[in-house]
Amino acid sequence: MVDNLARKLDNAPKAEIEISEAPVKWCSVSLAEMVERGKRLEASVFDVEARQAFDIIHHSVFDTKPLIGVDGFVNNAHYGNRLKRRYVSECDNNAIGFIGSSEMLDVYPHPVKYMIDDDNNKCLKVKRNSVLISRSGTIGNITFVSKTLEKLLVSEHAIRLECAESPGYVYCYLKSKVGQKLIQSKVYGAVVSQIEPEHLADIPVPNAPDAIKGKINDLIIQSYALRDESNALIDQAQALLVKELNLPPISEIKVDTLDKSKSVQTFNVKLSEMAGRADASYHVPIVDAIVDILKKNAAEVTTVGDERISSDVVLPGRFKRVYVDEGYGTVLFGGKQMYELDPSNKKFLSKSKHDERIINELEIQENTTLISRSGTIGKVCLVPKHWQNWVASEHIIRVVPANNDVAGYISTFLSSDYGYELIKRFTYGSVVDEIDDNHVRQIQIPILKNQDIQKQINDLALQANEKRYQAYLLEQEALKVLDEEVIYAE
């Protein structure tokens, strides 16, 4: 019976099978090549695009040198030791900011954790002109150590490349599309992707003439110098704001609680002040204390929704995104990339599918203030010129300034410690924290008595934004020179 059933099944009409035409990447790999690559069997090691990148470099008009080694561009590649992190208060003696491998990409990293600056944590320091590469989780994010970053401790999840020559050239090469493909081909790990310095050692780097390497190196160093200058201008603006409003450090502001001996804050709230909110976080005393100081020292305390401050506050609706390849759509980035000069992990949104929504809701314009509204609440940045007509996700609220005379001032206040507390108070949600555009319109903001000081603060912020735009242009020029005169040179 089994035999008869098998014959019937064998003679049954065959069903048509449709094979998807989705582009499956494949390639043949020789046994010798597998051995050469450390007996690695992961497909990512032999990725088609990575192989193309290797071919491009090997057929370059210039000889190559290994990335790391005695004859390489990098003479020391390492990362910090794994250690038990003992965090301290920012106010402690010898406290130094500590950041992770994602925060190191920010133009101006603001640490939320601090450690003691001693010999135990010395291994987490980074040297000026080093190149940093994230080595776990998201692999291959690149940054350059300038004046801003060398003041901080960086986690052991970032590989430090200390270059024997041309650190800016090495940075530019590793950040290029070809360099990124070569790095990704070295990744290993089934659950958490990782990479080690020894995996990067044999990455081939074109040994271009000194004049070209020097040109690229100088462009990158100038780019990061401009970022440092922009950060200094932002510090000046914040200092002027604090001085004019006579604001004490946020940790020294006295709050009115019922029993100061208790570790848990307890406080009274009048029924007339409830504003329809029963959650304690909305009524925290620090907010009232900040507002009281602002009222005493400002000409007026108004709200972000005031037509003198903003012309619009925009919260785009949720929608199903259609992504396309680079060059066929509009740049899209999310709240995680807000602090980066050139957001990493950019995606590209289809113009044909989302054209109307992009124009009416999603596109951002220069000098608009962006505020993250979900997950991590209260990240604030001022849109630089090169983000013009890019798209920020619906998780970011846009505050369109009434004019450029207040654009920089809005961003300066809202990005301060005091502005952050006034934003954060509106947070709601039991699982995912959120705020919305109505909340942002209600955020209180002072108008200074001295309008000259307010203008100075505004101008400093706009100057900082312009320097960041110029820094972006210099880095893009370096990448262009690398492509045209090194990688694809004929």
Q: Are residues 287 and 323 in the same domain?
A: yes
3-state secondary structure of 298: coil
Read off the pLDDT of residues 59-109 as tens digits, 9 standing for 90 and up: 889 999 999 998 999 999 999 888 888 899 888 889 999 999 999 999 999
User: CB atoms < 10 A from the CB of 103, how many?
Assistant: 20
Q: Are residues 237 and 174 in the same domain?
A: no
When comparing pLDDT for 311 and 139, which is higher? 311
**Percentage of the residues of the chain whose pLDDT score is greater than 70:** 89
Q: Are residues 307 and 405 in the same domain?
A: yes
User: CB atoms < 10 A from the CB of 207, how many?
Assistant: 16
Does the structure show a pLDDT above 60 at 15?
A: no
Closest CA to 147 of 219, 235, 231, 216: 231
Q: pLDDT value at position 408? A: 98
Q: pLDDT value at position 312? A: 96
| Domain that includes residue 414, residue range | 230-260+273-462
Query: What does the alpha-carbon distance between residue 332 and residue 441 come to, in Å, rounded to a whole number?
Result: 25
Query: What does the alpha-carbon distance between residue 51 and residue 42 come to, in Å, rounded to a whole number?
Result: 14
Q: What is the mean pLDDT of residues 269-289?
A: 78
User: CB atoms < 10 A from the CB of 236, how many?
Assistant: 16
Scan for tokens 């910090």, then name that residue. 80
Residue 479 covered by a domain: no
Residue 93 covered by a domain: yes
Q: Give the number of domains in the chain.
A: 2
Contact present, 206 and 487 (Cβ < 8 Å):
yes
Q: Are residues 243 and 188 in the same domain?
A: no
Read off the pLDDT of residues 100-156 as tens digits, 9 standing for 90 and up: 999 999 999 999 999 999 988 999 999 999 999 999 888 899 999 999 999 999 999
Residue 254 covered by a domain: yes
Q: Are residues 326 and 368 in the same domain?
A: yes
Does the structure show a pLDDT above 90 at 189?
A: no
Residue 485 covered by a domain: no
Q: Are residues 174 and 295 in the same domain?
A: no
Residue 19 covered by a domain: no
Rg (CA), the chain: 27
Q: Are residues 197 and 236 in the same domain?
A: no
Q: pLDDT value at position 60? A: 87
Residue 444 covered by a domain: yes
Does the structure show a pLDDT above 80 at 232?
A: yes
Residue 163 covered by a domain: yes
Residue 146 covered by a domain: yes
Question: What is the edge-to-edge ordering of all strands in the sheet holding 310-314?
Answer: 310-314, 396-401, 369-372, 380-382
Q: pLDDT value at position 2? A: 46
Q: Are residues 179 and 251 in the same domain?
A: no
Contact present, 234 and 381 (Cβ < 8 Å):
no
Q: Are residues 337 and 236 in the same domain?
A: yes
Does the structure show a pLDDT above 60 at 12?
A: no
Contact present, 333 and 392 (Cβ < 8 Å):
yes
Q: Are residues 175 and 237 in the same domain?
A: no
Cα 111 vs. chain centroid, distance in angstroms? 13
Read off the pLDDT of residues 317-369 as tens digits, 9 standing for 90 and up: 887 888 888 888 889 999 999 999 998 878 888 888 888 888 788 899 999 99
Q: Are residues 255 and 321 in the same domain?
A: yes
Q: Are residues 70 and 162 in the same domain?
A: yes
**Percentage of the residues of the chain whose pLDDT score is greater than 90:** 62
Per-residue pLDDT band for 19 (boundaries 50, 70, 90) equals: very low
Q: Is 57 exposed, middle or buried (0-12, 13-18, 19+ CB in 10 A)?
A: buried
Does the structure show a pLDDT above 90 at 231?
A: yes
Contact present, 69 and 215 (Cβ < 8 Å):
no
Which CATH number do you get for residue 236? 3.90.220.20
Q: pLDDT value at position 37? A: 65
